[in-house]
Amino acid sequence: MAKIKAFKALRPKNTLVEKVAALPYDVMNYEEAKEMVKGNPYSFLHIDRAEIDLEENINPYDPKVYEQAKNNLNNFIDKKIFIREDKSSIYIYRQIMNGKIQTGIVCCTAIDDYINGIIKKHEFTREDKEKDRINHVDTCNANTGPIFLTYKKNIGISNIVELETKKSPIYNFNTEDKITHIIWIIEDEKVIEKLINLFEDVDSLYIADGHHRAEAAVKVGINRRKENKNYKDEEFNYFLSVLYPDEELKIFDYNRVVKDLNGLNLDQFLNLVSKDFEIEKLVDNESFKPNERHTFGMYLENSWYKLKAKKGTFNNKDVVESLDVSILQNNLLSPILGISDPRKDSRIDFVGGIRGLSALIKRVNEDMKIAFSMYPTTIEELMKIADEGKVMPPKSTWFEPKIRSGIFIHTLD
């Protein structure tokens, strides 16, 4: 049974929400973040990426960065850019991208559910990124970015969402990426209680995106429990989340680009690839986006190829080994191109499918040698892996649209 909780949110006043709402801190680099805030003193990136307000070349993990984030947050509160709810509420957050709708429930979830495995993960986390978010949450005394969770669709929850979204929203705005964001507030205690009870019948919640934020929030909560031996139901026992039904989510492909052929020439490389993949060179240099599992596009020396994994190259009964990202990694990237650890190898980079195949061609023309277009991982695969307590290879999923940060903040006291 999953536990959710209403909370007294800090949120932007209506006239500023469009300027405050920002993409998650980890989908851009320093230069991109700096560019995004030009002419916009209200952007939440001043809190989520506070190094943009400090001297150039400062270490993003410097304590000054977290203090600046705290100061900026307090400044937003003092200037009434953020308002605090008078009563604990739950919210409904709808995003519309290219006509596709996904609607989630904004609430707090319990760190005990994470500890006990009711909130399930599918990725390893990196210690340096964990420490960054731990310091950020602890110093700001708040969850500033929601965890993106999914659950198997529940008709009772869907019925409440349908009824509540017939009411007038508190926010309705468009962002620069042409995505519509609509938010409703649920203040009725009886409706909130119904939602809480319905989620008690949900066996598992799954992290779709935000593993580092989740791990950090839990560790901050555990540390505060140590400092408060007689803790009960304080806010630090919960973290900010958005919960979406699985049927509404779309995972995009997460493509790969590599700097070189590991010392091989074209013929040598293709000969090695042909041992585990059927290779078809495409006519008229037509771009190839895979439309079925176990097929891959490959762009090399101004030509596109279609690759198809041969039988026997993977264990189809193993949910992790049969992922396309695993097949490519285990049969090509590692043995042929020498990329044994894609988390750490600087020769490989990853490009979200939302950018299109043109982004792969651009990277190969600029700073890479070869690109691979992927068939996207499915929500069903993600859930099965999490249910089995396994983890996906790095960069297996890319979700769109991204949940905007700064629309809701959950303070820890």
Compute how many other C-beta atoms are within 10 angstroms of the C-beta atom of residue 32.
Answer: 12
Rounded mean pLDDT of 27-54? 95
Tokens at 317, concatenated: 């009964």
Give the torsion through C-alpha atoms of 40, 46, 49, 54, to 10 deg. Answer: 100
Rounded mean pLDDT of 322-340? 97
Question: Which of 35-39, 341-345, 381-385 is the least confident region?
Answer: 341-345
Q: What is the pLDDT of residue 144?
A: 93
DSSP letters spanning 225-263: HHH-TT--S-GGGEEEEEEEEGGG--EEPEEEEES--TT
Nearest residue to 151 via CA among 120, 195, 117, 191? 120
Q: What is the pLDDT of residue 343?
A: 84
Q: Assign 247 a pLDDT band (cuts: 50, 70, 90).
A: very high
Q: Assign 333 a pLDDT band (cuts: 50, 70, 90).
A: very high
Chain segment 89-105, per-residue pLDDT in tens? 999 999 999 999 999 99
Higher-confidence residue: 19 or 393? Answer: 19
Question: Residue 212 in contact with residue 125, Cβ under 8 Å?
Answer: yes
Q: What is the pLDDT of residue 202?
A: 97
Q: What is the pLDDT of residue 177?
A: 92
Residues of the chain with CATH 3.30.1760: 254-375
Nearest residue to 342 via CA among 358, 357, 325? 325
Rounded mean pLDDT of 190-207? 98
Rounded mean pLDDT of 200-219? 96
Q: Assign 404 a pLDDT band (cuts: 50, 70, 90).
A: very high
The values of phi and psi at residue 259, to 5°, are -75, -30
Chain segment 174-194, per-residue pLDDT in tens? 999 999 999 999 999 999 999
Interatomic CA distance for residues 168 and 185, integer angstroms: 9
Rounded mean pLDDT of 328-357? 94
Question: Residue 354 in contact with residue 341, Cβ under 8 Å?
Answer: no
Rounded mean pLDDT of 203-212? 96
Q: What is the pLDDT of residue 190?
A: 98
Amino acid residing at 12: P
Q: What is the pLDDT of residue 389?
A: 95
Q: What is the pLDDT of residue 126?
A: 83
The whole-model pTM stands at 0.91
Distances (CA, A) of 178 to 28, 324, 408: 18, 30, 21
3-state SS assignment for residue 264: coil
Q: What is the pLDDT of residue 394?
A: 84
What is the chain's mean pLDDT, rounded?
96
**Residue whose token pair is 């031996």:** 229
* Range 185-189, long-range pairs (CB < 8 A, 24+ positions): 185/89, 185/90, 185/91, 186/6, 186/89, 186/90, 186/91, 186/92, 187/87, 187/89
The fold for domain 254-375 equals 3.30.1760
3-state SS assignment for residue 99: coil
Q: Assign 344 a pLDDT band (cuts: 50, 70, 90).
A: confident
Q: What is the pLDDT of residue 225?
A: 97
Interatomic CA distance for residues 236 and 110, integer angstroms: 9
Q: What is the pLDDT of residue 55?
A: 93
Q: What is the pLDDT of residue 270?
A: 98
Q: Assign 27 a pLDDT band (cuts: 50, 70, 90).
A: confident
| 285 pLDDT above the threshold of 80 | no
Q: What is the pLDDT of residue 297?
A: 98
Compute how many other C-beta atoms are within 10 angstroms of the C-beta atom of residue 151.
Answer: 20
| 390 pLDDT above the threshold of 80 | yes
Q: Assign 308 a pLDDT band (cuts: 50, 70, 90).
A: very high
Q: Which residues neighbour 111 within 8 Å (Cβ) at sequence distance 6 or greater?
A: 217, 218, 221, 222, 237, 238, 239
